[in-house]
Amino acid sequence: TSYVTEAFLEGRTLVYGHRGSRAYAPMNTIPAFELAIQQGAQGIELDVQLSADRELVIIHDFTVDGTTDGTGAVKDLLFAELRELNAAAQFSPMAEPLNGHIPHYPFTMIPTLEEVFSLVKEGAPLDFIINIEIKAPYCRENGRDEAENDNGIEALVANCIDRYEMDRNVIISSFNPPTLQRFKAIKPAIPVGFLVEEASPAYTTGLIAQLLPESSGTRGHEAWHPRFSMVTTEAIAQERQEGRMTQVWTVNDATVAHQLRDWGAIGFITDMPDRILAALN
């Protein structure tokens, strides 16, 4: 069984560093992931995309413009070009960590999925969880699964998980039901989380059931990953009744975290793992 499912069955709470400890270190970088481990998070969340030459790179936006010192679409840039960019170029902290100060981040490369797996294998607890969000262009904006979304990223992620033997440590998440369907077809035993927010195209709620049907004891998808602001106690109870865990994002407020836990949420994806851990412990 995967560690995330074990935690759910045992009623344990999971705190994930969103893009790492993103409040205090450049998002989706090795220093941000290291900090989340140091702060005692049970997991991290990260965003994965393909470079033009099909390397798995960890970056949130579809272009490099918002976080680095470069410009252009991630999918049009070669891996070597991406690696020259500074992923810390536009970093500004959201707050001070509870213990310590924010160091200066002079230059930090855009990491690969392999590098994150290596870091976790070397420096994190055995049951540390990596919530891998597969970014699929356009799905979030208009709900279409454009043909160009089917770029084979799911198979590359699955292959990387195999090579690093991270089967038990990962959960795959996506706003795009076809992405989750394609991943499940390759690795049925790995849990997947369906990401939703208020602005998600309405039809996607139906699409997930259509593409990942609950049949013969197989749960279509194991986790529901809603934006915290759309969650109700009834919705969490409903998911639980269907055997699904609820993991919420992005929870940076202690009061909100408490309420969501009372309602039955088990996962908390936060920019500030230290604060949410302190609040929930």
Alpha-carbon span 154 to 42, nearest angstrom? 24
Position 125: which residue type? P
Q: How far is the CB of 131 from ligand G3P (least distance, A)?
A: 6
Position 45: which residue type? E
Enter the tokens of residue 166.
């991270």
- For residues 80 and 52, the answer to whether their CB atoms sit within 8 Å is no
The full length of the chain comes to: 281
Q: Nearest to residue 223, comparing CAs of 265, 167, 169, 176?
A: 265
Q: How far is the CB of 45 from ligand G3P (least distance, A)?
A: 5
Taking CB under 5 A as the binding criterion, the range among 42-50, 70-78, 111-119, 255-263 that sits at the site for Ca ion is 42-50
Alpha-carbon span 238 to 218, nearest angstrom? 17
User: Judged by CB under 6 A, which of 195, 208, 276, 279 binds ligand G3P?
Assistant: 195
Phi, psi of 143 (to 5 degrees): 80, 5
Whichever of 49 and 112 has its CB closer to ligand G3P, that residue is 49
Q: Is 271 in the site for ligand G3P (CB under 6 A)?
A: no
Count residues binding ligand G3P (CB under 6 A).
10
Q: How far is the CB of 268 from ligand G3P (least distance, A)?
A: 11
Q: Is 271 in the site for Ca ion (CB under 5 A)?
A: no
User: Judged by CB under 5 A, which of 20, 21, 47, 160 binds Ca ion?
Assistant: 47
Could you list the residues that contact ligand G3P (CB under 6 A)?
18, 45, 47, 60, 133, 173, 195, 225, 249, 269
